[in-house]
Amino acid sequence: MATATAVTPSVPVPGPRKAAPAPTVTDPVLVRRAVKAAALGNAMEWFDFGVYSYIAVTLGKVFFPSGNPTAQLLSTFGAFAAAFLVRPLGGMVFGPLGDRVGRQKVLAVTMIMMAAGTFAIGLIPSYATIGVGAPVLLLAARLVQGFSTGGEYAGASTFIAEYAPDKRRGFFGSWLEFGTLAGYIGGAGLVTLMTALLSDNDLTAWGWRIPFLIAGPMGIIGLYLRMRLEETPAFAAEVEKAESSRPKVPLREMITGQWRSLLLCVALVLVFNVTDYMLLSYMPSYLTSELKYDETHGLLVVLAVMTLMMIVQPFAGALTDRVGRRPVIAAGCAGFLLLSVPALLLIRQGSLVAVGLGMAALGLLLVCFTAAMPAALPALFPTRVRYGSLSVGFNVSVSLFGGTTPLVVTALIGATGDMMMPAYYMMAAAVIGGFAAWRMKETAGRPLPGSPPSLEAPR
């Protein structure tokens, strides 16, 4: 009789389990220093852009003499938009460089270039002095600014995101846009003060130069703060993983290898920047040139709205750490879709209270983006390509849609005569941004892709 023998199934012997990466413990003092240095650079950038927008009517008279105020304003916004055309080039240069040699070094270079370009505008002679050379020099200075800012926002948001602990990345990231608002308020406050104290002739003759010349000292302070920083822990770990040197990542890999994340980035930045430039850059000129609103009162309203946004900003950033980035971004998109028309109708009503309420409603909706995006955008990409991929996606979107917003909306109003175009433009952007928020992954409280968990050291 045959005996049955038990057959023991072969079980694969597991190999040594790969150890999970050790978490990074961040020093709160270093995190705050990194946030301060990044936010100051952003403040300087938007101080310049804010001043340029708020004093656009005067710049039109200085650099683009014409009997038609609308043509002057269009020419001024055209030079404003031209800087955004070279931003993708700056992103393609500074982004990959930041992934190769480090975030801190590249951010020091962008600070120098931004300060130099802004300071140079304050030195340009008027059209009455040197003729056509004046607008040419203005355009050249704007192109230097645009090229440098191509590496600024992506680098600053990456720098803060890689320093911040996972559970507080939204809060610390929100201070980057706090810097943006501080720059805008500084620019708006200075222009408002000059408008109130100087006559139109003095403002056109020499007063407009003052805000641009202030960029020199601001740039030196910002450069000092950035040079004192160490490299981010995430980048340092990436360098250590590569042992001796950072391998060069081809630009093609940053784009084709990240195409889904890039599309989401472009869509999110679109709604973020269209609404941002609409409210903070275009609305002061809209109130003055289109609605014939008193210039000083219009600037004071915008100043008050930005102050309100600054107060709310850190709390909204902390909220994104608790409830997530997606719900906050989606709420902002829904708000702009539903409330853009009522808010603009309030603004067009013309009384100070109505204008203030309409602008405040748009400003609080914008906080949904300013609080969430600095943490959400860097989390779309892995560490080894984060700076480069984010620079490309961010700057392509800003160049095509954000920086062109004042020019496009002014042209649409001129072509159609419809004063509600700003609302329709924001609603279209909200639809695109809402779709992107639906498709993106939630990243709140989680490690950045390609980076170890980041914890905050006990205080």
- Three-state DSSP at 25 gives strand
End-to-end Cα distance, the chain: 77
- Three-state DSSP at 24 gives strand
Residue 21 lies in a domain: no
Structure confidence by residue, pLDDT tens digits, 14-54: 544 545 567 777 778 888 888 988 888 788 877 877 777 67
Report the distance separating Cα 229 and Cα 224, nearest Å.
9
Residue 4 lies in a domain: no
Using alpha carbons, select from 397, 317, 306, 316 the residue that is nearest to residue 360: 306
Residue 455 lies in a domain: no
Q: Sort 228 into a burial class: Cβ within 10 Å, 0-12 / 13-18 / 19+.
A: exposed
Look at the chain and report how many structural domains it folds into.
1
φ and ψ of 25, to 5 deg = -105, 115
Residue 450 lies in a domain: no
Question: Residue 105: how many CB atoms within 10 A of its CB?
Answer: 14
Task: Check pLDDT > 50 for residue 372.
Answer: yes
Report the distance separating Cα 50 and Cα 58, nearest Å.
14
Structure confidence by residue, pLDDT tens digits, 198-241: 888 888 888 889 988 887 888 888 888 888 888 888 888 877 77
Q: Write down the pLDDT at residue 459.
A: 64
Taking a C-beta distance cutoff of 8 angstroms, is the pair 298, 55 a contact?
no
- Residue 4's pLDDT band (cuts 50, 70, 90): very low
Q: Write down the pLDDT at residue 77.
A: 66
Report the distance separating Cα 59 and Cα 78, nearest Å.
12
Using alpha carbons, select from 129, 160, 122, 136 the residue that is nearest to residue 40: 160
Question: Residue 353: how many CB atoms within 10 A of its CB?
Answer: 9
Assign residue 189 the CATH number of its domain: 1.20.1250.20
| Complete DSSP assignment for 191-224 | HHHHHHHS-HHHIIIIITHHHHHTHHHHHHHHHH
Structure confidence by residue, pLDDT tens digits, 102-133: 888 898 898 888 888 888 888 989 888 888 78
Report the distance separating Cα 103 and Cα 151, nearest Å.
10
Supply the pTM of this predicted model: 0.85
Residue 1 lies in a domain: no
Residue 41 lies in a domain: yes
Structure tokens at 318: 């902390």
Q: Write down the pLDDT at residue 20.
A: 56
Residue 20 lies in a domain: no
Question: Residue 376: how many CB atoms within 10 A of its CB?
Answer: 31
- CB-side exposure of 353: number of CA atoms within 13 Å? 0
Report the distance separating Cα 236 and Cα 107, nearest Å.
16
The whole-chain average pLDDT of the chain stands at 84
Report the distance separating Cα 322 and Cα 316, nearest Å.
10
Report the distance separating Cα 138 and Cα 83, nearest Å.
10
Task: Check pLDDT > 80 for residue 405.
Answer: yes
Q: Write the CB contacts of 445 (distance below 8 Å, at least 6 apart in sequence).
A: 166, 167, 321
Task: Check pLDDT > 50 for residue 11.
Answer: no
Q: Write the CB contacts of 177 (distance below 8 Å, at least 6 apart in sequence).
A: 42, 313, 370, 371, 373, 374
- Residue 3's pLDDT band (cuts 50, 70, 90): very low
Using alpha carbons, select from 176, 180, 184 the residue that is nearest to residue 156: 176
Q: Write down the pLDDT at residue 13.
A: 47
φ and ψ of 456, to 5 deg = -95, 130
Q: Write the CB contacts of 129 (distance below 8 Å, at least 6 apart in sequence).
A: none
Q: Sort 314 into a burial class: Cβ within 10 Å, 0-12 / 13-18 / 19+.
A: middle
Report the distance separating Cα 38 and Cα 65, nearest Å.
38
Block residue for tokens 């995006």: 373
By residue range, what is the domain housing residue 334?
A: 26-443
Q: Write down the pLDDT at residue 73.
A: 64
Helices (H), 198-294: 200-202, 209-213, 215-227, 233-241, 251-256, 259-277, 283-285
Using alpha carbons, select from 443, 323, 448 the residue that is nearest to residue 385: 448
Taking a C-beta distance cutoff of 8 angstroms, is the pair 134, 339 a contact?
no
Q: Give the CA radius of gyration of the chain.
A: 24
Task: Check pLDDT > 80 for residue 253.
Answer: no
Task: Check pLDDT > 50 for residue 7.
Answer: no
Residue 11 lies in a domain: no
Structure confidence by residue, pLDDT tens digits, 177-198: 999 889 888 887 888 788 888 8
- For residues 73, 210, 399, 437, the Cα torsion angle rounded to the nearest 10 degrees is -110
Q: What size, in residues, is the chain? A: 459
Report the distance separating Cα 343 and Cα 261, nearest Å.
33
Q: Write the CB contacts of 432 (distance below 8 Å, at least 6 apart in sequence).
A: 267, 270, 271
